[in-house]
Structure 1
Amino acid sequence: MAVLLTRPSPDNETSGEALRARGFEVLLAPMLRFEPVESADEPGVDYQAVIVSSANALRAVEATLAQSPLRKLPLFAVGEHTASVARDLGFAKVIVAKGDAGTLRDRVLESLRAKELKKKRPLLYLAGADLSRDLAGDLGQHGLEVVTQTTYRMVALAALPRAACDAFARDEVEAVLHYSRRSAAAFLEAVRNAGIEISALAVPQCCMSANVATVLHEAGAAQVKVAASTDENALFEALERALPSRLA
């Protein structure tokens, strides 16, 4: 029996290793594909900090960061995983939020109140093409100027890997892990296209947040578990709760 991991590459490899360390067999079935987007930088802009809500936003511009002055600026990262990627790419001062856009906004505003940021200097927001929250707009309401630069997109995949379809057909999938609303929606579309929706939704669906879980609830999944917080360890704990026989 295996856990189906829908997280996109390359992060799914690290997640898969962590799951195997917990004793799970893992089947990789990424439902989104990462694509960098060419973006026109604005030379000469005196940014005071960088905001990043996904590690992919940094990966997309990795080649241009080696000689970039941006690495000398404070960087606000949505969570520890993104923060780790930022540090690996040379950012020395990384401020970490608690895993979602709301806490990222709050962390930036906390620095504003502490006078570590100024209202008259812009911040650079490296972002994906599809945003679940208007972070720039939220911060703008507090007097901060935020320049959004789209660096990547995540493209939904229309089909599950053949191995995943076969595993569902043989009742060899014991749970599915979902990291975002878009990947969950792509998973649902893929299992419908493959004609395995009933068997795919019969197993526990473990979700990174209540927002992600809504997609599975609306599709009729009966066993939906939600992580206690928006981080991967909490998601893995939700998985273990969904499969109590493993803890016996």
Structure 2
Amino acid sequence: MTRTAPFNRLTAKRLAGAGHDALCAPVLRVVPIPAPPLMAVPDALVFTSLNGVRLHRFSPSLAEVPVFAVGDHSARYARARGYRHVISASGNLADLSRTIRNGLAGPADILHVGAATPAGDLESLLEPRYRVVRLPVYGVEERGPREFNTIADRLGEVGQILIHSPRAGRFVARWLAAVMPEWSGVVHCISPAAAEPFGQLPDISKVTASRPDERSLLATLARSRDEIASSVHKIRGFHRPGDSRQAKASEGYHA
């Protein structure tokens, strides 16, 4: 499981609760960026990540400002921080832009809180009546490949890998190509963009979540487990007592 800290611990708990043996190997590092104090209260706040909510200092003056969050987890976290009017887009950046247009009349000044290098351009998806000002509160760095030597030694035990972002997908695909290009497990990706880098590794199976959120991503694991169990059942059904050939399959795997 390659999600960045500290939220990777929440994912690990969910995996353990579902009966998976999870190895945590965050491939990206979140680096906080000191943000200047706000000079004016915007008409709306936009959060495109959990880390944006976590690293933006909450101010009581913003409690009543409408907040638009890209996903349900970010929305719940924003409510927990003290924002009272939070709307979740329950999806990706395109869903977020539609949610803003439907829920906020223009003209409006929007403060977009997030990464120094965002995954997409929200402003380009909105009409000029929405004036978007970006406030970077964190940067993202790739970890050094040497930090994954322990994981490399255990790749033979790993059957499935969770990918939470396109950048994580690019890192993991490069790393696998370098350390074990013959690895033939399954990568579970949160979006088509996160799955795209693995197209150069033909032995890998790719599964993409139906929606770009962790609930949908973890649901792909449940489906894979059901498929494995079904395959084991079918294989065992062909085994006859006394037959010298024995089919063996493992129902356990790592995520």
Cα distance 1:173–1:138, how it changes in 2: closer, same or farther (>3 A)?
Answer: same
Q: Structure 2: which amino acid aligns with 1:22?
A: A
2:197 maps to which residue?
Answer: 215
What is the correspondence of 1:169-208 to structure 2 with a 5 Å cutoff?
171-193=156-178, 195-199=179-183, 202-208=184-190
What is the number of equivalent residue pairs in this alignment?
A: 229
How many angstroms apart in 1 are the aligned matches of 2:94 and 2:88? Answer: 12
What is the correspondence of 1:82-121 to structure 2 with a 5 Å cutoff?
82-112=74-104, 117-119=105-107, 121=108
Cα shift at 1:221:
4.9
Cα distance 1:96–1:221, how it changes in 2: closer, same or farther (>3 A)?
Answer: farther
Q: 2:50 aligns with which of 44, 55, 59?
A: 55
Q: Is 2:124 aligned against 1:137?
A: yes
Q: Is 2:148 aligned against 1:161?
A: yes
1:16 maps to which residue?
Answer: 12
1:146-184 CA distance string (max 9 Å, x none): 11111111111122534311211xx21010010101011
2:140 is paired with a residue whose SS is strand
- 8 Å CA contact 2:48, 2:70 repeated in 1: yes
1:93-138 CA distance string (max 9 Å, x none): 11011221111111001113xxxx330x311110212222110232
Cα shift at 1:229:
1.2
How many angstroms apart in 2 are the aligned matches of 1:175 and 1:46? Answer: 45
How many angstroms apart in 1 are the aligned matches of 2:229 and 2:117? Answer: 37
How many angstroms apart in 2 are the aligned matches of 1:88 and 1:163? Answer: 36
1:68-97 CA distance string (max 9 Å, x none): 412221110111110111111111111011
1:84 is paired with a residue whose SS is helix
2:90 is paired with a residue whose SS is coil
- 8 Å CA contact 1:136, 1:148 repeated in 2: no
Cα shift at 1:9:
0.7
Cα shift at 1:42:
4.2
Q: 2:28 aligns with which of 32, 40, 44?
A: 32
Structure 1, unmatched stretches of 5+, are none
Q: Structure 2: which amino acid aligns with 1:50?
A: L
RMSD between aligned residues? 1.8
Pick the structure with greater CA Rg: 2
How many angstroms apart in 1 are the aligned matches of 2:49 and 2:82? Answer: 16
- 8 Å CA contact 2:106, 2:129 repeated in 1: no
Q: Is 2:220 aligned against 1:233?
A: no
- 8 Å CA contact 1:46, 1:122 repeated in 2: no
Q: Structure 1: which amino acid aligns with 2:46?
A: I
How many angstroms apart in 1 are the aligned matches of 2:31 and 2:229? Answer: 37
1:76 maps to which residue?
Answer: 68
Q: Structure 2: which amino acid aligns with 1:235?
A: L
2:123 is paired with a residue whose SS is helix
Cα shift at 1:41:
3.8
- 8 Å CA contact 1:78, 1:104 repeated in 2: yes
Structure 2, unmatched stretches of 5+, are 234-255
Cα distance 1:221–1:48, how it changes in 2: closer, same or farther (>3 A)?
Answer: farther
TM-score (norm 1): 0.86
2:113 maps to which residue?
Answer: 126
Identical-pair percentage: 24
